[in-house]
């Protein structure tokens, strides 16, 4: 069996930033040019909401094949986490890479006593990690039109309720 290693994104001389860009460029590829997720990760890395311990890469046979990041968000002004983007190179889909990244992220978040994680995504995918519609947990999406696609997961018995705000670079996505 091939082992999927999940580790923190490296900064400094041997940094993973370009490999992370390549992951999201391929994972979110479309006909309309550079995917917004590529620039989003770079903007997040430069933002005060960046949490280095929650930017994780998945490595298979020495190759970076996936990336996920959670950044500082707020719920009614209290600290929370916003997840995204999560991307896996298309050639490696369906091998558990996304699952490994998400479980590693959630474990790292819980170890740091985070109370709530939220994201915008497919309920059919994120339900397996325990995410449910955020509105049912009293967490209001930045855009009410997101409906059930805005999901949250409680990591603690006590978690804030109210309006969710992502780190600032998400506001520039339009």
Residues contributing to the site for ligand COA (CB under 6 A): 27-28, 86-88, 93-99, 121-122, 124-125
Question: Strand, coil or helix: what is 137?
Answer: helix
- Please report how close the Cβ of residue 126 comes to ligand COA at its closest, in angstroms: 7
Q: Which is nearer to ligand COA, 10 or 95 (CB)?
A: 95
Provide the minimum distance between the beta carbon of 94 and ligand COA in the complex, in angstroms, as a whole number.
5
- Residue number closest to ligand COA, CB atom: 98
Question: Distance of CA 10 to CAs 38, 107, 173, Å?
Answer: 17, 19, 25
Radius of gyration of the chain (CA): 15
CB of 99 to ligand COA, least distance (A): 3
Q: Identify which of residues 23 and 137 has a Cβ nearer to ligand COA in the complex.
A: 23
Per the DSSP assignment, residues forming a β-bridge with 163 are 140
Token pair in block for residue 37: 């997720």
Distance of alpha carbon 154 from alpha carbon 110, whole angstroms: 10
The minimum distance between CB 87 and ligand COA, in angstroms, equals 4
């Amino acid at each position: 069996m091939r082992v999927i290693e999940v580790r923190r994104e490296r900064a400094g001389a041997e940094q993973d930033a370009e490999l992370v860009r390549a992951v999201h460029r391929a994972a979110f590829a479309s006909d309309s040019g550079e995917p917004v997720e590529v620039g989003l990760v770079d903007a997040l890395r430069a933002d005060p909401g960046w949490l280095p311990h929650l930017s994780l890469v998945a490595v298979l046979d020495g190759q970076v094949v996936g990336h996920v990041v959670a950044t500082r968000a707020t719920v009614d002004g209290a600290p929370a986490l916003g997840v995204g983007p999560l991307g896996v190179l298309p050639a490696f889909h369906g091998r558990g890479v996304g699952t490994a990244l998400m479980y590693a992220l959630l474990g790292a978040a819980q170890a740091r006593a985070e109370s709530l994680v939220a994201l915008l995504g497919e309920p059919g995918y994120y339900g397996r990690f325990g995410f449910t519609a955020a509105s049912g947990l009293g967490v209001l999406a930045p855009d009410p039109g997101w409906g059930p696609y805005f999901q949250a997961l409680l990591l603690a018995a006590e978690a804030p309720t109210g309006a969710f705000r992502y780190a600032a670079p998400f506001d520039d996505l339009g």
